[in-house]
Structure 1
């Protein structure tokens, strides 16, 4: 038996397809680069990285963490993944560029060709119909369908364009997160919205035997798994080679992010029935199309001796001039590019997703090349971040904790002078039942771990709109050109934390 949640990591807005014996999932990656990650699975439960669709998007220089600008909480989201006539399609919008992107490839691992679709289609979902016509379904509150031209570059002149369903009266969240699928002659649109009297994600489905006809339906799942009132919703359904159906949705889980949830789908009078007796089962039976397959982990430790592993993403568009990976030495070095007031402005911060329900990370930092005022270390990256690091102050090395509060105030512990320029840092996070706390530690010369600062409260907020991540950072507070060298990154999940 397999237990929800799936992946235990922040993979929101999932869209899943099956091609022969392999399942593929795309998920929102927002501002992280490279972006638009695709995973693969043979049983819908265990997943591994396949590729990133792009290295960077069309961000202007002003948006690449220069002059205080950023694209946190923007970038790509809610992609649609399709396979049609031997070609993969990925469609998504980016709020910062206000563009709709379409990437295509004959192979899942690329190369991917980029083009734009004229218009902006919020949470768009592609449909390739059997008659050769192409559509995109999209919107929030109002869900529309627009027919696209043959080469998918713009709406088709005089093509179908109509309102399908609407939810104007919902004060919390109207319909969005469209997923359209054609199954056995019927068109199904899967949507997320909230209960009207309180925040609670709810999954809905509407269907019709014609795109010109009336779409009828309603809610198909309203369940929080007994977890903090956080509803499970937004996603589509996928079939197995033996004819079973499953839904891949997600659940808000506090600061750790939005985690995929898998549940069975059955059918009654051509309408999907989600879960068991209206609820998400905690244990779910699945069958692998490749029994015994060994998956590569989505997160984990790294000695930096094998290049930059795909489990890492930069906090924004990276600047290769200011970082260096030395596989022979097993090091990752960041050189400061501009003066910053805080670590979220630092370029080339290297991140990994944190794990539910708890996790920890450690890293060794060589600060010998820091300049006066530089700060380098290990952080829990989000808008309200926690970090433990080393700085150079009046020519001496000091260890400190950075504590960014929910109200935006940044506290720094008074620096503790240390005699060594090489330091080990440790950061622990507890997300169980949305406790969302982080603790910071340091040690000198492989001695005992020493706590520093206060217990930090983490939050999932719309400013970053992503789950909290471990980050390796270095930034300048006074002058540029200093650097920090990172090695021996260790990742521990809940089963490994003592």
Structure 2
């Protein structure tokens, strides 16, 4: 039987070759990691390698538990493994009591180190006025020991030197080196305590007067000390400055190390095969401050960052597998015996009242109970949050309102100063769906419609593509057919909160206490519907 051939026209053949070539290029790129390595709010990263594993601590400020700890085996795919603390302190600002909060403060930039078989994570807090230290022999299982001392050492870098002495280098612009007691319980009397760099921003002032000069991270490589800092030349962008010295006390010499895309603040990490990278982050609008990796080459005793001075779009590292469930996670609220009550992706907005939430009172549900009167989403206690992710994401939940009381307001929010909310409010004999839009900086009720059933499905979609920073809310009566509700939320990263937008499950009373709201699940995906694209 003769073989039949199909004759392809020359133009179509050329087009086919182009398609195949593009497909091959995309396939090749898909095998590589891309920047940012985490498209979510993971700022102020500090990183170490122990054997073949990498560990990273980060900032979540007012959230509880705090100082998230993440693990990776390839520098690209990270998963949550724990937190340094459950509660930083029990004071009004951290508890959201007596009208006080600690938005934009809480615990700031941490430092993670490994020394003689012990992991150390240190941080500081304007809220407490103290420097906090946590240690453990098992970073994945704990337990953690904790202690603190005054004062609060701003943006410090913990450093164990080869001679057994331990130091913190800290402050803004004028950097100070202090020697700690051997047990790290405070600053050592009679130890080194001196200014080592008068103006750490000086190397970047050739491109305009530079501010900041903070975010210190200190390393020792082949007998030399290296110090990373962030500066911000006037009219320019966030910039990396590196200093080096033969002695901790100096003299230090500095260089402008990287000025591209505003990617800055971080440090050095080496791989078992001898490669080096710098981990840094970039301010990226409403999603928050997102981590990047930049390759490093050593030339004349200096780490040289980037590819021809630029932050590469792709990296010679394994491709990322996505942030779900490593950094964020869906939750059916059905944890097995021996598992934590909540997946590690969750954090409370400030310290929770643990008497007013449960995942066991009603099996398969998160129950949020009211215990006091609140009138503001930002001051309501026991809002359960997790990060939004980019470039797009959707968070959805199912809410049972059967046991809510007069004035209660429960639902799904997008938490930041300019927040958005979609929830159910009880008003007399009526239960109504309410959408609140805080795009202007003040919450505005955009719509209120009656609800005649006890279960409702709520959804929020976020689009951070190219800093578009918009969100829409939806509701469903059956979990299948969704209806847009209210107005578009224009999200904005604000300094008062200093954190990327977060999904939040909330329930608070405005008239009487004792009501409950039951959430059946929370689902997060990295897709959105066409209305938001």
TM-score by structure 1 length?
0.94
Query: Partner of 1:177 in structure 2?
Result: 215
Unpaired runs of 5+ residues, structure 1, are 225-230
Q: Aligned equivalents of 1:257 and 1:140: distance in 2?
A: 22
Q: Aligned equivalents of 2:73 and 2:49: distance in 1?
A: 9
Query: Partner of 2:28 in structure 1?
Result: none
Cα offsets for 1:271-297 (capped at 9, x unmatched): 110010001111001269xx99x9952
1:171: how far off? 6.6
Query: Partner of 2:58 in structure 1?
Result: 27
Query: Partner of 1:314 in structure 2?
Result: 348
Tell me, yes or no, if structure 1 residue 64 matches structure 2 residue 102: no
Tell me, yes or no, if structure 1 residue 17 matches structure 2 residue 48: yes
Tell me, yes or no, if structure 1 residue 212 matches structure 2 residue 249: yes
Tell me, yes or no, if structure 1 residue 441 matches structure 2 residue 474: yes
Query: Partner of 1:402 in structure 2?
Result: 436
Query: Partner of 1:302 in structure 2?
Result: 331
Q: Aligned equivalents of 2:440 and 2:212: distance in 1?
A: 27
Cα offsets for 1:438-474 (capped at 9, x unmatched): 1011111335211111101111111111110101001
Query: Partner of 1:227 in structure 2?
Result: none
1:431: how far off? 0.8
Q: Which moved more, 1:443-452 or 1:488-497?
A: 488-497
TM-score by structure 2 length?
0.88
SS in 2 for 1:158: coil
Cα offsets for 1:325-384 (capped at 9, x unmatched): 138731001111211111121211111100111101111101111111211110111111
Q: Aligned equivalents of 1:430 and 1:295: distance in 2?
A: 17
Select the residue among 168, 173, 179 that pairs with 1:147.
179
Q: Aligned equivalents of 1:81 and 1:419: distance in 2?
A: 52
Question: Compared with structure 1, are the counterparts of its residues 62 and 241 closer, same or farther at alpha carbon in structure 2 (3 Å cutoff)?
Answer: closer
SS in 1 for 2:453: coil
Tell me, yes or no, if structure 1 residue 116 matches structure 2 residue 148: yes
Q: Aligned equivalents of 2:249 and 2:92: distance in 1?
A: 45
Q: Aligned equivalents of 1:17 and 1:232: distance in 2?
A: 20
Query: Partner of 2:419 in structure 1?
Result: 385
- Hey, which of these two has a bigger chunk of helix by percent? 2
SS in 2 for 1:433: helix
Q: Is the 8 A contact 1:192 1:233 kept in 2?
A: yes
Q: Aligned equivalents of 1:270 and 1:117: distance in 2?
A: 36
Q: Is the 8 A contact 1:119 1:154 kept in 2?
A: no
1:486: how far off? 0.4
Cα offsets for 1:72-109 (capped at 9, x unmatched): 11111110000011111111101111110111111112
Query: Partner of 1:223 in structure 2?
Result: 260
Unpaired runs of 5+ residues, structure 2, are 1-31, 336-340
Q: Which moved more, 1:239-248 or 1:488-497?
A: 488-497
Tell me, yes or no, if structure 1 residue 472 matches structure 2 residue 505: yes
Higher-Rg member (1/2): 2
1:59: how far off? 3.1
Tell me, yes or no, if structure 1 residue 485 matches structure 2 residue 518: yes
Q: Aligned equivalents of 2:254 and 2:468: distance in 1?
A: 37
Q: Which moved more, 1:70-79 or 1:275-284?
A: 70-79
1:234: how far off? 0.6
Select the residue among 386, 402, 424 that pairs with 1:352.
386
1:421: how far off? 2.2
What is the RMSD computed on CA atoms of the aligned residues?
2.1
SS in 2 for 1:340: coil
Tell me, yes or no, if structure 1 residue 132 matches structure 2 residue 164: yes
Correspondence list, 1:337-376, <5 A: 337-376=371-410
Select the residue among 453, 457, 478 that pairs with 1:420.
453
SS in 2 for 1:413: strand
Q: Number of aligned pairs?
A: 487
Q: Is the 8 A contact 1:364 1:489 kept in 2?
A: yes
SS in 1 for 2:108: strand
Tell me, yes or no, if structure 1 residue 44 matches structure 2 residue 75: yes
Q: Aligned equivalents of 1:212 and 1:54: distance in 2?
A: 33
Select the residue among 114, 131, 135 that pairs with 1:100.
131
SS in 1 for 2:110: strand
Q: Aligned equivalents of 1:4 and 1:275: distance in 2?
A: 12
